[in-house]
Amino acid sequence: MTPATQTTTIDPTALLAKLGIEPVHSGAYAGEWLATTGAELEVTSPGTGEVIGRVRQATAAEYDRVVEAAQEAFGRWRQLPAPIRGEYVRRMGNAMREKKDELGAIVTLEMGKILQEGLGEVQEAIDIADFAVGQSRMLYGLSMHSERPGHAMREQWHPLGTIGIISAFNFPSAVWAWNSMIALICGDACVWKPSPKTPLTAIAMTNVCRPVLEEAGFGALLGLAIGTNEEVGERLVNDKRLPLVSFTGSSAVGGQVAGKVASRFGRTILELGGNNAMVVTENADLDLAIPAILFGSVGTAGQRCTSTRRLILHESVADEVESRLIKAYGQIQIGNPLDPKTLCGPLIDQVAVDNMHKTLEQAKAEGAEVLCGGESITLDGAEAGGHYVTPCLVRAKNEMQCVQNETFAPIVYLMRYSSLDDAIAMHNAVPQGLSSAIFTLNVREAETFLSAAGSDCGIANVNIGTSGAEIGGAFGGEKETGGGRESGSDAWKAYMRRQTNTVNWSTELPLAQGIQFG
């Protein structure tokens, strides 16, 4: 694997100016940018290591101002008809369309994913806005038949309140949009704490969308608080004013968040760890499987929660798959994520690089065999360095601790099986349960994998990889992945409160269950 030479650059100062980001920008938006007084956060590009921006973080007091403004705006917003709320979301989606190139570039510059993926992530935010517009006319309840004469029953859905959103670095715009666009059409306000590794994207998304709401006095619905865990994160999680917290991050931290929110009788949407596997059977079309494995494992440098981390290969095709993958991995262009020839950009920071190396050392100690990759590399022409590694293939056993844990890096473990029952048992024998896939042209194998006795994940695919979910389906997983659902399908219900109504239009007062009283 040879690194690609850096040939494409972006002027960070010019890009930030186009997105309305000041050299030292405020870290709190409450319908207007606040004069924040917290510590200065220095933002570096993982591709070069250079400083690309600075944010003055919010303090606890400034966080409170964001929530108070969101609460006030919520009280007015919830009274608008849902289709009117949808019209505002439609206009925000169009605003993102107009700035798609700039938003995609800031994602790539700040997070490190290749430009095609950065643009794709922004498109995902646009798509969920479009989806939400339609959903604003479909917040359906039910009508039910009462057992009592002259009575009618129905179920309806009401806005829930101000929603807390804590997002991770790897999808710095899309995850916020999954939550906020749906929450807005449901009648809610939002308060967003983005990852401190990608705050500029959060400011950019806010700047692009806020004018649509500001002109009607609703800007505070898009509350933003960039700050430390002590000043903002802990306060948000424990804030009784926020009936729902959507958290994206590790299973370990997600468990802590869930406990704290539950202790105050709040709700959570948890999008946590993934240890996603692909089963390749003897009936697989390998010409389909190999590219799916490559994108699933190398896309975003293995830093997607849906990245392919385990390959469960039938013993009759395992040698061929390994051989083809080793050859393909040797041709992967690693380097500047702005270069259109690059397929694998950097890891987010040096901590991520160190974690990858520690995992590989653990794997070797457990008896795993590294087939290729796993080295740190320096790019030609990179002045300030960067956090680049070579994607890695490791022959291992599913029960190894290194395999059981999720490492946010381009490491794929290869294992073999003889029967489909064994493959499914191996597949399910990890703590996480996000995304899964099987490659087979045999309908019985496919349907078995999708059955109740098959994959235990929230997402199960046939003849496509584990990575790259569409917004139309509910996104999320089971077990230590958290059980939450975001984005499409009926995920909107998490952002609303359910109410059952019974109306007596008769002249009598019969009791349910035939009870006679008095």
210: left (phi over 0), alpha (psi -120 to 50) or beta: alpha
Judge if 259 and 318 occupy the same domain: no
**Alpha-carbon gap, residue 306 to 468, rounded angstroms:** 8
Domain assignment of residue 4, yes or no: no
**Alpha-carbon gap, residue 378 to 6, rounded angstroms:** 11
Domain CATH code at residue 61: 3.40.605.10
Judge if 311 and 187 occupy the same domain: no
Judge if 160 and 191 occupy the same domain: yes
Element (H, E) at 354: helix 350-365
Name the token pair of 5: 């030479």
pLDDT tens-digit series, residues 9-28: 889 999 999 999 999 999 99
Judge if 85 and 42 occupy the same domain: yes
* pLDDT score recorded for residue 381: 53
Count structural domains, the chain.
2
Domain assignment of residue 3, yes or no: no
Non-local CB neighbours of 471 within 8 Å, separated by 6+ positions: 124, 127, 128, 131, 178, 487, 488
Judge if 237 and 268 occupy the same domain: yes
pLDDT tens-digit series, residues 150-167: 999 999 999 999 999 999
- Of residues 306, 304, 400, 394, the one with CA closest to residue 357: 394
Domain assignment of residue 117, yes or no: yes
**Alpha-carbon gap, residue 356 to 388, rounded angstroms:** 11
Name the token pair of 397: 């056993």
Non-local CB neighbours of 264 within 8 Å, separated by 6+ positions: 238, 240
Please give the angle made by the CA atoms of 251, 496 and 32, to the nearest 5 degrees: 85
Containing structural domain, residue 423: 276-470
**Alpha-carbon gap, residue 25 to 34, rounded angstroms:** 10
Domain CATH code at residue 307: 3.40.309.10
pLDDT tens-digit series, residues 350-403: 999 999 999 999 999 999 999 999 999 988 655 447 899 999 999 999 999 999
**Alpha-carbon gap, residue 87 to 84, rounded angstroms:** 5
**Chain centroid to CA 173:** 9
- Pick the catalytic residue from 102, 117, 271, 322: 271
What is the full per-residue pLDDT of the chain (518 aa) written as tens digits?
555 444 478 899 999 999 999 999 999 999 999 999 999 999 999 999 999 999 999 999 999 999 999 999 999 999 999 999 999 999 999 999 999 999 999 999 999 999 999 999 999 999 999 999 999 999 999 999 999 999 999 999 999 999 999 999 999 999 999 999 999 999 999 999 999 999 999 999 999 999 999 999 999 999 999 999 999 999 999 999 999 999 999 999 999 999 999 999 999 999 999 999 999 999 999 999 999 999 999 999 999 999 999 999 999 999 999 999 999 999 999 999 999 999 999 999 999 999 999 999 999 999 999 999 999 998 865 544 789 999 999 999 999 999 999 999 999 999 999 999 999 999 999 999 999 999 999 999 999 999 999 999 999 999 999 998 899 999 999 999 999 999 999 999 999 999 999 999 999 999 999 999 87
* pLDDT score recorded for residue 2: 52
Which stretches of 409-511 are assigned E, i.e. beta strand? 411-417, 432-433, 435-439, 459-462, 474-475, 478-479, 486-487, 496-504
pTM: 0.96
Judge if 75 and 106 occupy the same domain: yes
Name the token pair of 350: 């040096």
Domain assignment of residue 431, yes or no: yes
**Alpha-carbon gap, residue 197 to 41, rounded angstroms:** 9
- 271 labelled catalytic: yes
Name the token pair of 57: 């973080």
**Chain centroid to CA 67:** 23
* pLDDT score recorded for residue 505: 97
* pLDDT score recorded for residue 456: 98
Instruction: Say if CB 356 and CB 307 are below 8 A apart.
Output: no
* pLDDT score recorded for residue 6: 44
